[in-house]
Amino acid sequence: MTSPSVSGALLLIALFALLATGMPIAFALGLVSIGALLLTSGFGSMEIIGETFFGGLATFSLVSIPMFILMGASVASSPAGRDLYEALDRWLNRVPGGLVLSNLGACSLFSALSGSSPATCAAIGKMGIPAMVERGYPKSIAAGSIAAGGTLGILIPPSVTMIVYGIATETSIGRLFLAGILPGVMLTALFMIWTIISCRMKGYSFEQMARRFTFRERMQALPRVLPFLLIVVGILYVLYGGVATPSEAAGAGALFCIILAAVIYRIWQPSRLTNIFRTTIKESVMIMMIIGASELFAFALSSLFITQSIAMWISDMDVNRWVLMGIINVFLLVAGFFLPPVAVILMTAPILLPLVTQAGFDPYWFAVVLTINMEIGLITPPVGLNLYVINGIAPDIPLSTILKGSLPYVICMVVGILLLCIFPGIATWLPTALMG
């Protein structure tokens, strides 16, 4: 039997080699794990691989993932994003940088209805990017602010990654959701501040193109935002008013949103409804397969005693807790460059959380720091889902411009993490105040 460090290194090399072919992450993870189990425990492990994969998915908390994605997809397919964005614009457009503020504000409000970041990005960006470009904002800022604003989808509840974290670490999903709210607001504010500063630096005059809306026009925009607000309030009530658990609230939210799309926005044609479901299946099957494969991967790592050895090795290093947190952040950042959030959380959270809590950090605070790291991953190359979404909805903006526009927001998020380290209350205050 080889030592855990050797087998761990071999496992990682095999995984990287498979990932390099561009094959699906889920299948690469699964194959490496099955291979390791067959080599070490013999052919008998075939008797438990299927059950382990199945058991990893057959968890009630996980069913909320497709449902929250369905919720976001049905709202994203409706003009609700446009209405929201327009209403904000009519009210804010006399404020310097009002358009930027309404875009980022719409992103963060939309995040409250979508568990995933690409949906947020697409829903607001479809309208927001052309409008900003039309009013003469630099293309890099238009694309970058939406790419960054879209990442809020996984920080502001509901959030698919928070659900996955909650399951992987056995923490309360309701609490995790609450912990994400204030940091979400903080990041939105940081994004807004940076956008206005960079516009000034590029010599963009905010006054030049702002159209004046009458009070009447402003009031007219409000009713169209109502259904949207109704759903947000409805879901908050279902979640925290004793009607249902977070997992069940996802089902109610999905049904609300489909009914909203069908009744108010008249999206009832079978072909359009099918499209909403097809998009949902596509994204959630991808995530669920990664979850199942991660279950196998975690099993293989634990079976070879790799997980335990890494944990012991890190805790034996006996470094200052902030140095530890720094190392963990760099590690997460690098992992996020290459892997989607769900895969990173599933593969690392069970190893990292015991170390982090041992060092005296709050598990809910850490969830927020982890999520912001994952948000950074969404807008950094080589694998940055939001970058590709922006590229898809605004094909005339080259990828390099989107990249250039996004990078400053990475700095904003790093600043956000630093602020959270200095003032952990930003994440922990709300759950403590509301849930004790």
Interface residues for other proteins in 136-175 (CB under 8 A)? 170, 172-174
Among other proteins, Na ion, none, what binds residue 377 when CB lies within 5 to 8 Å by partner kind? Na ion
Residue 174 in contact with Na ion, rule: CB under 5 A = no
Total residues contacting Na ion by CB under 5 A comes to 9
Cβ(127)–Cβ(82) below 8 Å:
yes
Within 13 Å, how many C-alpha atoms sit on residue 264's CB side?
21
What are the Cα distances from residue 386, in Å, to 68, 140, 196? 18, 14, 22
Nearest residue (CB) to other proteins, 26 versus 359? 26
User: Which partner, other proteins, Na ion, none, binds residue 173 by CB below 5 to 8 Å per kind?
Assistant: other proteins
Count CB-CB contacts under 10 A for residue 35.
14
> H-helix or E-strand containing 241?
none
Name residues contacting Na ion, limited to 83-112 (CB under 5 A). Answer: 111
87 binds other proteins (CB under 8 A): no
Based on CB atoms, which residue is closest to Na ion, 112 or 142? 112
155: its two tokens: 């920080």
Extract long-range pairs of 301-308: CB within 8 Å, 24+ residues apart.
Answer: 301/8, 301/11, 303/36, 303/37, 303/40, 303/41, 304/4, 304/7, 304/8, 304/11, 304/36, 304/40, 305/4, 306/4, 306/5, 306/7, 306/8, 306/11, 307/350, 307/351, 308/4
User: Residues 349-378: x/- map of binding to Na ion (CB under 5 A)?
Assistant: ----------------------------x-
308 is an interface residue for other proteins by CB under 8 A: yes
Contact pattern from residue 388 through residue 407 relative to other proteins, giving x for each residue in contact according to CB under 8 A and a dash for the rest: xx-xxx--------------
Q: How far is the CB of 41 from other proteins (least distance, A)?
A: 7
Q: Is 341 in the site for Na ion (CB under 5 A)?
A: no
Among residues 125, 153, 184, 416, the one that binds Na ion under rule CB under 5 A: 153
Query: Measuring CA to CA, which residue among 178, 91, 109 is closest to residue 149?
Result: 109
Q: CB of residue 5 vs other proteins: minimum separation in angstroms?
A: 17
| Site residues for Na ion per CB under 5 A | 111, 153, 156, 159, 337, 377, 380, 383-384
